[in-house]
Amino acid sequence: GGGQAERRLPFHCCALTLTPYQQPVCTGNGIVFENTALLPFLLKHKVDPVTGSPLKSRDVIQLHMDKDEEGRWQCPIMTKPFSDHTKIVAIRNGNDANVYSWQAYQELNVKGKNMEDLISGQKFTKKDVIILNDPENDEFNRLRDINNFHHVLHARSLDINGKPSTNVQHSVTATRIMEKLKRTASSSSSSSGKEAAARNTANKKPRISSEIVTGKRYTSGATSGSLTSSSVAVSNTSQFREATEEEILVARFGVMRNQLKKKGYATVQTNMGDIGLELHCDMAPRTCANFLGLAEAGKYNGTKFHRLIPSFMIQGGKGLDPKDDESLWGGSFVDEFDDRLVHDAEGILSMANAGPKTNKRQFFLTFGPTAHLNRKHSIFGKVIQGMEVLREMKKVPTDKKDRPVHEIIITGVQVLVNPAKEAEDMERVRIEKAMNLKRSETESRKASALGRKQASTSNKLPATIPTTSTAPAVGKYLAKNVQKKPASKKSDGDQQHNDDLLNKTKA
């Protein structure tokens, strides 16, 4: 009734489900819905869920909205995230519409006397402008008051609760109780939701696009997938895909293999003596990064060489806890083979596995040539110091299960040179520079779109804003692709350092 407090619908929420939308559409009056929720409702009830007026699916307008790096809806021109206090418009072209802030529309269309869509370049009239959000418009906000929504007022007759209908039929009393509980839960969760959002924002890692990491432009695939499969939800935006953890790792391993081209060095400390290892980070970067990372995390400390076959090899690295027997990244990882690396001598360091692509953390050292293991086990290093310790281990008697009778314990692994860490640091710096450059171009686009001049003595307009109305219009306010700088070459000083270390360990 009239005594109810206003419950204005948040801009980012669907007017039917009352939850955040992912595939936004709107009606002619500017109310935004989730496409996958609205269409089934229209097929069943054939009325606008907010006003109750007749509405057909052909009257629904697809909204094309931009997102920032954190996944928030934003103005593609001003690059400012939309909020409930932002005045927002959609420029309609048939059953499609691009979404902008009112400020961008006023500055570049109205004041600039340029009635062309800022992205598509299509001409439009003021009748094509749809208000999606206006905090100062009382009449519009009354329309967005959830208390006045047709589907809320007639929930029983429509048999909906903002969600797809189920087979459960509630009594009138039960429905009233559930609605009251919903209102109470919504009210009590608002403050905690804000606190949780603040915590998430503080702990959130920056989103890194796959383009920055791989140098290739990938999208999420949602738009093309929705066009070719009825089982995929409809998508109207082509967002660039966030880089996967694997892509980030592959880029890092590429630095190790192609730029650094350095060996790693570590010392395995045991109760029988120390064994110095040279690690082939330039030929098996993933396997070396796994070993070095586990070693620096102390994962090998206190573990045993649990399997010994005198004519074959000695195996170690098994976790003290059976549950703690995974790779540095969890689970297992793929094999790395290089024709330059073969099991042709004693002291070859190689990965133990249970078949292809099952590498985790266990490794072995050979007591002699084992050619039958080539391209079956990933070689990632060799013994360069302490070969006599390995030979003493070979003499330790074993039981019927090939377990050493006398315990051979790894007391620790000292990492001397870690190219994996260096590559990680190099990639982090490169990515940060690329992201800063991208943000800088975004700010430049914003300034250009508003017609502001950069600090300069020149009186020329920014190149991105045409000086005449005859200039090409399509995408004229969008930023150009980020130009990436070629990675700088490392000097030979690091390799000389490795050679000095190798000579020192051999001495």
From 312, 416, 437, 450, active-site residue: 312
Assess whether 364 carries a catalytic annotation.
Answer: yes
Decide: helix, strand or coil at residue 97: strand
The phi and psi torsions of 458 (rounded to 5 degrees) equal -75, 145
From 373, 385, 430, 445, active-site residue: 373
Q: Phi/psi class of residue 113: alpha, beta or left (left: φ > 0; alpha: ψ in -120 to 50)?
A: left
From 122, 239, 353, 498, active-site residue: 353
Q: Give 12's DSSP letter.
A: T
Assess whether 373 carries a catalytic annotation.
Answer: yes
Assess whether 33 carries a catalytic annotation.
Answer: no
From 361, 377, 430, 445, active-site residue: 377
Assess whether 340 carries a catalytic annotation.
Answer: no
Assess whether 307 carries a catalytic annotation.
Answer: yes
Check the CA dihedral 338-342-346-352 and report its sign: positive
From 98, 315, 362, 385, active-site residue: 315
Alpha-carbon distances of 327 from 108, 332, 363, rounded to whole Å? 55, 6, 12
Q: What is the pairing mode between strands 348-351 and 129-133?
A: unpaired
CB of 410 closer than 8 Å to CB of 304: yes
Task: Please calculate the CA angle 194-195-198 and round it to the nearest 5 degrees.
Answer: 85
Which of 262, 248, 214, 251 is closest to 490 using CA atoms? Answer: 262
Residue 491 corresponds to which tokens in the numbers above? 């000097």
Number of helical (H) and strand (E) elements in the chain, helices listed first? 13, 16
CB of 30 closer than 8 Å to CB of 131: yes
The CA distance from 113 to 76, in Å, is 20
Q: What is the pairing mode between strands 379-385 and 348-351?
A: antiparallel
Assess whether 315 carries a catalytic annotation.
Answer: yes
CB of 129 closer than 8 Å to CB of 105: yes
Assess whether 103 carries a catalytic annotation.
Answer: no
Alpha-carbon distances of 489 from 205, 250, 259, 419, 493, rounded to whole Å? 29, 19, 7, 15, 12
From 92, 257, 286, 307, active-site residue: 307
Burial class (CB in 10 A: 0-12, 13-18, 19+), 16: buried
From 253, 291, 305, 364, active-site residue: 364
The CA distance from 86 to 133, in Å, is 7
Active site residues: 307, 312, 315, 353, 364, 373, 377
